[in-house]
Copies of this chain bind each other. A is one copy, B any other.
Amino acid sequence: MTTDKKLSDTSAAPSRITVIGAGAIGLSWTGLFLANGWQVTINDPREDIKAAALAGLSQIKPSLEALGYSGSNFVKRLSFEADLEKAVKDADFIQENGPESLAFKQDLYAKLDKWVKPSAILLSSSSSIPASVFSEKMARPERALIGHPFNPPHLIPLVEVVPGKKTSREATNSAMDFYRSLGKKPALIEKEIAGFVANRLQAAMMRESVHLVKEGVITMEGLDSIVSSSIGLRWAAAGPFKTFTLGGGSGGFRHFLEGLGPMLEKLMANIGDAHFDAETTKVLLEQYDGSYGKIPITELEQQRDHQQLAIMKALAQ
């Protein structure tokens, strides 16, 4: 990461971004934008937004520093503007993190459409309302699309970039370049499918995980330990297709499909179903109360972040 360069690069245009909605996701974005030298305006209706944002940013700062970002006074490029029109009129980019409500978002984007500069790119962190839908009331929907982070955005590299039916290729390319310039790994998703890619894969994994815990095959903690000591470790280094390519030896993925494909398909046909019904929820919460539930959340969080940062630093080298 060439963060020192980025931090000094505040003279180059475009450089103004407005963050709409500064809850956990919006604040995490804000920290990342500031660390990369952008002028950030927060638009959030909460009365205590200034104090909450500064407190949140100071919590995020150690992670940003561990990732190689410097610049102790990075909040000097942060401002607050509760009036939406004023907040967005000079922005080159918008990163919107509002409520997951269709009516709210359609109304918001209709307003943005009127108030932003013609060249502005409008990015939504939404995980469930696609651009084709939230942009329906816009006159210029070609500049709006999804830029969906994996939580927390300042730490995890992935951003899913999902254009709507009317989004221009130019706006999509700008979004990809923008996220790359922040050190992120944007992935272009070609279809507006529910859950995009990462959340769908997460749901597939969670469904079988809940199934196995409910059936008494393994405990919640046991399953987590299995994942972290095998497939998680592996997938952090090489995704499923690369992994199975190497599982085919010198014959690669073709050899894997021929040799192990039938066994994998048999397992694929037999994986379980799961629902958060009363019985399943009872099993999960009983196990939770007897395990993670006994440990303060802040301690669990520190464990995870410590390991997460160690892994990311190792991979960056």
Chain A contacts to B: CB under 8 angstroms:
24, 128, 150-151, 156-158, 160, 185, 187-191, 193-195, 197-209, 212-213, 215-218, 220-247, 249-250, 252-254, 257, 261-271, 274-276, 281, 284-285, 288, 292-293, 297, 300-301, 303-304, 307-308, 310-315, 317
Looking at chain A's contact residues, is the secondary structure mostly helix, strand, loop, or mixed?
helix
Contact between B237 and A268 (Cβ–Cβ < 8 Å)? no
Specify which of B212, B276, B307 is in contact with A265 (CB 8 Å cutoff).
B276
Which 9 residue pairs spanning A and B have beta carbons closest together? A224-B239, A232-B235, A314-B314, A203-B267, A158-B230, A204-B208, A237-B307, A150-B230, A236-B236
Task: Find out whether the CB atom of A191 lies under 8 angstroms from the CB atom of B217.
Answer: yes
Known: A197-B217, A288-B245. A238 touches B208 (CB 8 A): no
Set B244, B274, B314: member contacting A310, Cβ < 8 A: B314
- Whether A233 and B271, one on each chain, are in contact in the complex, defined by CB atoms closer than 8 angstroms, is no
| Residue ID in chain B nearest A239 by CB atoms | B224
Q: Which residues of B contact A231 (CB under 8 A)?
A: 150, 198, 201-202, 205, 235
- A245 cross-chain contacts in B, Cβ below 8 A: 288, 292, 297, 300
Partner of A185, one of B160, B209, B229: B229
A203: nearest residue on chain B (CB-CB)?
B267
The answer to whether B315 touches A307, judged by C-beta atoms less than 8 angstroms apart, is yes
Identity of the chain B residue whose Cβ is nearest the Cβ of A242 in the assembled complex: B224
In the complex, which of the residues B187, B204, B213 contacts A207, with contact meaning CB atoms closer than 8 Å? Answer: B204
CB pair A240–B227 under 8 Å, yes or no, is yes
Q: Is the beta-carbon distance between A198 and B226 smaller than 8 angstroms?
A: yes
**Residue among A213, A268, A312 with the most chain B CB within 10 A?**
A268
Q: Are A264 and B206 in contact (CB under 8 A)?
A: yes
Question: What chain B residues lie within 8 Å of A288 (beta carbons)?
Answer: 241, 245, 252-254
Contact A236 B311 (CB under 8 A): yes
Bound form: Cα–Cα A297–B218 in Å? 35
A157 to chain B, nearest CB (A): 4
Q: Is the CB of A240 within 8 A of B218?
A: no
